[in-house]
């Protein structure tokens, strides 16, 4: 959404009720820095979004770890599993561009919305 990539319009429909794992926030901050944005500017931009950030606590860590079994064959990362675990815990859809998530959604018991 920040870079106005294809599918950002779909993300915007979920934005108002969006929650983000601190793990995924870190990934976005790193990507912005990779693209040449300074750390302070990335922090300010992400803070201005007003998203609800959830800690990656023991409960989330164990849930993401447990998802390894059903996501291993698709190569989902810790960040991917953190996002899925949060969506499952909150009973909300997870929004992604990664089609691999669709393949594990049933086994993971997650509602996955692939935006492109």
Contacts of residues 76-81 at CB distance under 8 Å and 24 or more positions apart, as own/partner, are 76/100, 76/101, 76/104, 78/23, 79/21, 79/23, 79/24, 79/27
Identify the pLDDT of residue 76.
96
User: Does this model's pTM top 0.75?
Assistant: yes
* Euclidean distance between CA atoms 51 and 69, whole angstroms: 30
Mean pLDDT (whole number) for 56-69? 97
Q: Report the percentage of the chain scoring pLDDT > 70.
A: 99
Could you tell me which CATH number the domain at 8-114 has?
3.40.50.1010
Coil, strand or helix at 57? coil
Write the pLDDT tens digit of every residue in 35-46.
Answer: 999 999 999 999
pLDDT at 16 over 80: no
Q: Where are the domains of the chain?
A: 8-114
- pLDDT band of residue 24 (cuts 50, 70, 90) is very high
Mean pLDDT (whole number) for 66-95? 95
């Amino acid at each position: 959404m920040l870079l106005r990539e294809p599918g950002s319009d779909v993300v915007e429909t979920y934005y108002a009720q969006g929650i983000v794992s601190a793990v995924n926030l870190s990934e976005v901050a790193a990507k912005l820095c990779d693209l040449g944005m300074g750390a302070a500017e990335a922090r300010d931009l992400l803070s201005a979004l007003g998203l609800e950030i959830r800690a990656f606590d023991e409960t989330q860590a164990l849930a993401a770890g447990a998802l390894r079994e059903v996501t291993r064959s698709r190569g989902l990362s810790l960040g991917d599993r953190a996002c899925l675990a949060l969506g499952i815990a909150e009973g909300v859809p997870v929004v992604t561009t990664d089609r691999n998530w669709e393949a594990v959604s049933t086994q993971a018991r997650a509602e996955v919305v692939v935006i492109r």
